[in-house]
Amino acid sequence: MVKFLWGALTALSALSVAVVAQDTYTPGNFSYNRHEFLLNGKPYQIIGGQMDPQRIPPEFWVHRLKMARAMGLNTIFSYLYWNMHEPRSGEWDFQGRNDVAAFFRLAQQEGLKVVLRPGPYICGERDWGGFPAWLSQVPGMAVRQNNGPFLDAAKAYIDRLGKELGKLQITQGGPILMTQLENEYGSFGKDKKYLAAMAAMLRDNFDVCLYTNDGGGKSYLEGGQFHGVLAVIDGDSQSGFAARDKYVTDPTSLGPQLNGEYYITWIDQWGSDYAHQQISGSQTGIAKAVGDLDWTLAGNYSFSIYMFHGGTNFGFENGGIRDDGPLAAVTTSYDYGAPLDESGRPTDVYFKLREMISKYVPAGSIPEVPATPKRATVPEFELKPAAALFDLQDKATRQADDPISMDALGQAYGYVLYEHTVTKDVQGLVAIGDGARDRAIVYVNGVRTGVVDTIYKTPSSVKVALKKGDTLRILVENLGRVDVRQRLKEQVKGIVGNVSVGGSVLRNWATYSMPLSELPSDLHRQHTIKKNDGPVFYTGTFDLPKGASSDPSGDTFLSVPEGVKGVLWVNGVNLGRYWKVGPQQSLYVPGSILKPKNDVVLLELEPQPGVQLSAEGISERKWFNSPDPDAP
C-alpha cells in the first residue's frame, strides 16, 4: 500500500500541473494593518516554512508540499535562483526544476499559500547568492547598487518572472501573497536609490504587498528598510521583533511582526573539523525550537522556518561563505537539519512542531502525515578506472601569455586546466595569481605534486623543480562563489593573474575549459592508476534494489568509502561533490532517476594506486568527519 501511495504521488507530480491549469480560483486580496495580516479581510497568521523548488526533483514536489501541510504549515516561502533561470545572458530556463510556476500551482492545489523571494540576490548558500556568473564579465558592472548595467540585467530577470508568475498572485486567483524586496540588504548596504529602483521593477510586475527581510539589528534594519514596504526580521523572534519596532521609525514600514527566517539549525560546510548541524535527537535543541515558535504563535505573530525542507545542491550548485578568512565551501547536501530531511522523510523535530502547531489551528485541519516508505539499499558494487581526465582533453580552449580565468572563458562551474611547457630550468614555490580560486592541484609531467586549498586560512605551499621541456599543469576547481561577498573581482574563478615559480613568471599557457556540464562520451577505456596520478573517471552499474522502484521507495544514499574527492553521476545526473573530509559522507540519490539497471560515473580527483573503489547505497546515512590528506 505504501508503494502504491508513493507511486500515485509521483504520477500526480507529473500530471497535476495540467489539472491545476484547468481549475479556476477566485481572485482575492492580501493586506495588513498594524498588528495582523488579512486574507480576504480576515486575520491570517502565517505559519510558514522555506522550501525552494530548484533544490528538489520535480517528481517529488507534490509529496514535499503534502508533508508541509501535514506539519501544519499554511504558507511556503521560496527563493528563486537567477543563475539557474538565466544561465547565459538572454537565455531563459523555466523547465524541470526551474518550472517554478508549476510548483506554485501544486502548492495551491495542496491548500498552501506562497511568499515569493525572487532576489535578484538571495544568499541561500547558493553560488554567488544566486547571481549568474556572467555578470562578472559585463563592463561597468557593480551588483546590488544603483548601477546601470546591474539594474538593466536585474530588470530583464524580474520582467521575465512577471511573465511567468504574474497570473499566480492572490489578486488573480493564485497562491502568491507577498513578494520580497531584495534580501537582507541591510547586511550589505543602505543605497535607497537602488532599493527604489528594485521596488519599481517588482511593482511593475507584481501587485501584491512587498516586504523587506533583515537581521534584527540597528544597522541591518535601517539599511534594508524602504518607505512603503513592510519591514520583516529574521533570526531570534523576541529580540528581532523588539528591534524592528525600535529602529524602524517610518510608519509605512510597520505592520504585523513576521520572522521571515527562523533558523532551526544551520548549514553544513566541507571540513575535517566541521560537524553536521542538526537538533534531531537533542531534547534540549528541539525544546528550544518548539518553545520559540510556540511563543511566536501565542503572541499572534507569524514565522517561516528556514529551512522546512532544504533539499540538495545538485551538481556544482553550492555556494561558499567567507568573511575575510578561508573559504567555507557548502556541502552538496542542503539537509540543514530541517524538520523534513534531504530525502523528504520527517524527523523527530517535524512531529514535535506538528504537535505544537495543532494547538493554534482548528481541530482536524491538519492532514494526516503521508505514508513514508523505507529507503532502499544497494549492495556494494565495483567502480573500475575507465579514462584519465587529461587524456580526454581536446585542443586548448585558449592560448595566451597568462592563464585565462574561468569566467573569461564563458564558463560558470566545474574545472579549468592550465598547461605550460617549461622553456628554462626554474625551481621554487608555485605562486598562483592572487590566490587559487578555489582549489588547485599541481602536476609536473603528469605527477601530482601538491594541492593549494583555500578552505584553509594558510593553504599548503607547493615547491617544484622544473627542467626545460617539463610540463606543468594546474587543475583549478570552483568550490562555490561566495554568497555574501559582492565585489566582482573576488567572484571570478580559475586563475586570475599570472603564475610564477621561485619568483619567475611563466609565460605561454594553454587553458582548457572543463565545465563537465555533460559527461565525456569516450569513457570506455582502461586506465591503470599510478602513484600521484591525475583525475580518473571510474564507471560501474547497479540494479534497482528488489522491492524498490523509480519513485521515493527507491531513494538511497550512495557512499564511496575509499574515495578522496570528486563528483558522482547516476544515469547522467550530476548528484554533486563528495569529499572524504565530511561531514557529508554519502550523496542523496532520488528514486525518480533510477532505472532497472543504473549507470554510475565517478570522477576521482586523487586516485590511489592499489585502492579498489566501490560504492554502496545505504538507507540510513551517517555524518562524520575524516582527516584531510591534503591539509596544510
Q: Which residues are catalytic?
A: 184, 261
Q: Count Cβ atoms within 10 A of the Cβ of residue 480 and give its class: 0-12 exposed, 13-18 middle, 19 or more buried.
A: buried
Cβ atoms < 10 Å from Cβ of 276: 20
Whole-angstrom distance, CA of residue 466 vs CA of residue 502: 10
Backbone angles phi, psi at 428, to 5 degrees: 135, -165
* Angle, vertex CA 316, rays to CA 313 and CA 320, nearest 5: 75
Strand 471-477 versus strand 415-421 pairing type = antiparallel
Backbone angles phi, psi at 592, to 5 degrees: -65, -20
Cβ atoms < 10 Å from Cβ of 35: 12
Whole-angstrom distance, CA of residue 85 vs CA of residue 326: 30
Can you list the positions of beta strands (E) in 129-175?
Answer: none
For 73, residues 6+ apart whose C-beta sits below 8 A from its C-beta are: 47, 48, 49, 112, 308, 357
Strand 447-453 versus strand 439-444 pairing type = antiparallel
Whole-angstrom distance, CA of residue 573 vs CA of residue 262: 33
- By C-alpha distance, which of 464, 451, 446 is closest to 528? 446
Can you list the positions of beta strands (E) in 119-264?
Answer: 176-180, 209-215, 230-234, 258-263
3-state DSSP assignment of residue 348: helix
What single-letter amino acid sits at 226?
Answer: F
What single-letter amino acid sits at 20?
Answer: V
Cβ atoms < 10 Å from Cβ of 319: 25
Whole-angstrom distance, CA of residue 534 vs CA of residue 109: 51
Residue 388 DSSP code: E
How far out from the chain centre does Cα 511 lie? 28
For 363, residues 6+ apart whose C-beta sits below 8 A from its C-beta are: none
346, 339 in Cβ contact below 8 A? yes
247, 218 in Cβ contact below 8 A? yes
Whole-angstrom distance, CA of residue 204 vs CA of residue 197: 11
| Cα Rg of the chain (Å, integer) | 25
3-state DSSP assignment of residue 600: strand
